[in-house]
């Protein structure tokens, strides 16, 4: 079971850590499934992510043109927010730190991404943040929009006046060329296409950004050199060095949209800082059903040791040690076998790999692990579910009408080509009278019904005398009809026994029906 449903999970005592590179995409795509469920007398769609190595999560992209900040539905996914002091007791932390994406902080596209605030941008709605370390920094973004301006400015006054800015346009005013300009005080007018100087660098990529999926970028500053990297591109989108006598020293990042609204996320995390020799202890007040996911940030080559204890008895449940290969946020899964109080104990050693690094961090967002490590997402209305790190891998609601029966060897309490346990989705053995569609390795979508049902929308029960997946199996020698799901009989005809009445009584099993002696 652990192999089949391994997502950010523990198989025995081994933890799965995540490192996401800005410049490369893993060739191994996660597995997606989508289905429809009737809840509260209305239909909603659910998307499932599984068989993943822990480097992604899922997002819902509605089919309508309307852009909403609240287009995601997670079933109790965010479990614990430490800084609200409502569900966790934290020991030995030196205080809450607001972590911008700086100091070797790569893009974070695992489940922590879901905790980043999403903002709506337009020509009249901008968003700005202060850069804590202006000398050298890295700021990461995610955009779902056709065009956006990114301004790195020395000063922003009331979000309207921009002074001495590097002005980066992605998608241009008509969704085409992207370019970088350098603007002095008083030269910026966001409502005009004639802003400050001519473009210093132009990116000849027509598809660098669009509103149909999320695109992820990082801007890295080292001294007076600025590099823009896009997730999935093997080379930087642009690199610019300001060799002038008066280079700017940006202290703010500002995002500005165009007439068409779009969505953006700045990758920043609320986290607690720990001194390098400090032992972190977190006690959870609630009792997670399957375990938790925590996020740790430490120096490159630092050794991270984490143990999971029973919060009531203090007994050790799991223990692991690993070496972080970069300084980004790492996703760590801690799995339990039953609902219980939990205490997380963590420590980091081998500091000094990166000069000056004296602290390590735990995000204030802790997520409850879902059944069988399957990540689920629900939504109302039509649309597509994407794997965040593989946007080309998606499955859409219109696939649900393409029923494609096929051989199934799953147990009766599971669903889909990958035999996902119904308990993981519906918290019961009932798989619901709805199809589930799986994204296959060849890029095609295959749909199937739960056992005992058939039809384009799985609306029909198996005809009398048949049962199972696609109603392909014949009932045994039942006194009455067999159950359409698994062929179970309420009683057997004479001379037969078994759950499905498909086994002859032992004494008579040597004879054919016509050869049974009459008494």
- Between residues 303 and 5, the one the model is more confident about: 303
The percent of residues in the chain predicted with pLDDT above 70, rounded, is: 77
* 15 band by pLDDT with thresholds 50, 70 and 90: very low
Q: What is the pLDDT of residue 67?
A: 57
User: What's the pLDDT score for residue 29?
Assistant: 62
What is the per-residue pLDDT for 311?
83
Please give the radius of gyration of the chain, using alpha carbons only, rounded to the nearest integer: 28
Mean pLDDT of 36-53: 75
Amino acid 78: pLDDT: 45
Helices (runs of H) and strands (runs of E) counted in the chain: 1, 40
pLDDT given at position 72: 43
Neighbours of 514 (CB within 10 A): 5
For residue 491, the model assigns a pLDDT of 92
> What is the DSSP code string of 347-371?
EEE-TTSSTT--EEEEESEEEEPPG
The total number of residues written for the chain in this structure? 519
**Stretch 339-368: mean pLDDT:** 78
Burial class (CB in 10 A: 0-12, 13-18, 19+), 84: exposed
Q: Please compute, for residue 339, the number of CA atoms within 13 A of its CA located in the half-sphere on the CB side.
A: 7
pLDDT band at 173 (very low <50, low <70, confident <90, very high): low
Chain-wide mean pLDDT for the chain?
77
DSSP for residue 17 = P
Establish how many alpha carbons lie within 13 A of residue 499's alpha carbon, considering only the half-sphere containing its beta carbon. 5
pLDDT (average), residues 252-260: 86
Is the torsion defined by CA of 276, 281, 286, 287 positive or negative? positive
Q: Can you give the pLDDT at residue 5?
A: 24
Among the ranges given (214-218, 494-498, 504-508), the one the predictor scored with the smallest mean pLDDT: 504-508
CA contacts within 13 A on the Cβ side of 289: 12
- Say if residue 1's pLDDT is above 70: no
The CA–CA distances, whole Å, from 332 to 23, 104, 368 equal 23, 19, 12
Q: Domain 118-267 is in which class?
A: mainly beta
Which of residues 67 and 142 earns the better pLDDT score? 142
| Nearest-angstrom CA–CA distance, 486 and 468 | 6
Q: What is the mean pLDDT of residues 337-350?
A: 85
pLDDT at 216: 94
**Is pLDDT above 60 for 18?**
no
- Give me the residues paired with residue 14 across strands: 11
DSSP H or E stretch at residue 160:
none
Over range 217-229, report the average pLDDT.
Answer: 93
pLDDT computed for residue 354 by the predictor: 47
Tell me which of 44-58, 85-99, 231-245 is least confident: 85-99
Over residues 342-359, mean pLDDT: 75
- Between CA 147 and CA 156 the distance in angstroms is 21
Q: Is the pLDDT score of 84 beyond 70?
A: no
**pLDDT higher than threshold 60 for residue 71:** no
* CA gap 22, 415 in Å, rounded: 36
Indicate the SS3 state at residue 83. Answer: helix
Between 184 and 28, the more confident residue is 184
- Yes or no: say if 310 and 341 are a contact pair by the CB < 8 Å rule: yes
* pLDDT tens-digit series, residues 431-488: 877 788 998 888 888 888 888 888 877 888 999 999 988 888 999 999 988 999 889 9
Average pLDDT over every residue of 106-135: 84
Of 410, 408, 428, 412, nearest in space to 488 by CA: 412
Residue pLDDT, tens place only, 174-212: 546 788 888 888 777 655 545 576 778 887 666 788 888
> Where does the pLDDT of residue 76 fall: very low under 50, low under 70, confident under 90, or very high at 90 and above?
very low
406 has pLDDT over 60: yes
- pLDDT of 286 > 90? The answer is no
- Least-confidence region, from 6-10, 241-245, 461-465: 6-10
Distance CA 115, CA 423 (A): 26
Exposed / middle / buried, residue 23 (Cβ in 10 Å: 0-12, 13-18, 19+): middle
Say how far apart CA 26 and CA 185 lie, in whole Å. Answer: 43
């Amino acid at each position: 079971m652990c192999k089949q449903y391994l997502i950010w999970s523990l198989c025995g005592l081994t933890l799965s850590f995540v490192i996401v590179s800005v410049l490369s995409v893993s060739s191994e795509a996660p597995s997606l499934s989508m289905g429809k469920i009737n809840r509260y007398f209305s239909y909603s769609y659910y998307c499932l992510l599984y068989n993943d190595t822990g480097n992604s999560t899922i997002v819902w992209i509605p089919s309508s043109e309307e852009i909403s900040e609240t287009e995601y539905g997670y079933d109790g996914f965010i479990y614990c927010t430490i800084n609200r002091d409502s569900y966790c007791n934290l020991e030995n932390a030196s205080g809450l730190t607001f972590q911008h994406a700086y100091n070797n902080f790569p893009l974070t596209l695992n489940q922590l991404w879901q905790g980043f605030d999403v903002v709506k941008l337009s020509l009249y709605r901008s968003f700005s943040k202060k850069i804590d370390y202006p000398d050298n920094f890295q700021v990461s973004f995610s955009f779902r929009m056709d065009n956006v301006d990114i301004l790195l400015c020395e000063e922003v006054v009331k979000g309207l006046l921009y002074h001495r800015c590097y002005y980066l346009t992605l998608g241009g005013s008509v969704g085409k060329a992207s370019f970088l300009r350098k603007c002095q005080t008083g030269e910026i007018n966001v409502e005009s296409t004639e802003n400050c100087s001519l473009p210093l660098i132009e990116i000849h990529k027509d598809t660098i950004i669009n509103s149909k999926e999320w695109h992820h970028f990082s801007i890295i500053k080292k001294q007076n050199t600025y590099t823009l990297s896009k997730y999935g591109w093997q080379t930087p989108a642009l690199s610019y060095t300001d060799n002038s006598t008066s280079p700017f020293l940006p202290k703010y990042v500002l995002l500005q949209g165009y007439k068409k609204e779009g969505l953006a996320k700045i990758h920043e995390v609320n986290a607690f800082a720990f001194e390098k020799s400090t032992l972190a202890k977190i006690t959870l007040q609630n009792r997670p059903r399957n375990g938790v996911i925590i996020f740790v940030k430490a120096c490159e080559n630092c050794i991270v040791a984490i143990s999971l204890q029973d919060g009531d008895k203090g007994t050790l449940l799991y223990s692991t040690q690993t070496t972080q290969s970069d300084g980004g946020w790492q996703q760590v899964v801690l799995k339990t076998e039953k609902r219980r109080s939990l205490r997380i104990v963590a420590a980091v050693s081998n500091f000094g790999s990166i000069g000056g690094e004296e602290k390590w961090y735990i995000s204030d967002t802790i997520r409850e692990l879902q059944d069988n490590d399957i990540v689920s997402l629900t939504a109302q209305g039509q649309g597509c579910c994407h794997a965040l790190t593989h946007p080309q891998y998606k499955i859409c609601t219109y696939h649900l009408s393409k029923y494609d029966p096929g051989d199934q060897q799953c147990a009766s309490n599971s669903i889909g080509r990958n035999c996902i346990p119904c308990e993981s989705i519906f918290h019961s053995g009932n798989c619901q009278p709805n199809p589930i569609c799986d994204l296959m390795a060849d890029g095609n979508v295959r749909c199937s019904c739960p056992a005992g049902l058939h039809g384009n929308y799985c609306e029909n029960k198996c005809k009398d005398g048949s049962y199972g997946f696609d109603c392909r199996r014949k009932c045994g020698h039942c006194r009455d009809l067999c159950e359409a799901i698994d062929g179970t009989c309420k009683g057997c005809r004479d001379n037969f026994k078994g759950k499905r009445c498909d086994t002859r009584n032992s004494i008579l099993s040597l004879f054919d029906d016509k050869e049974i002696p009459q008494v």
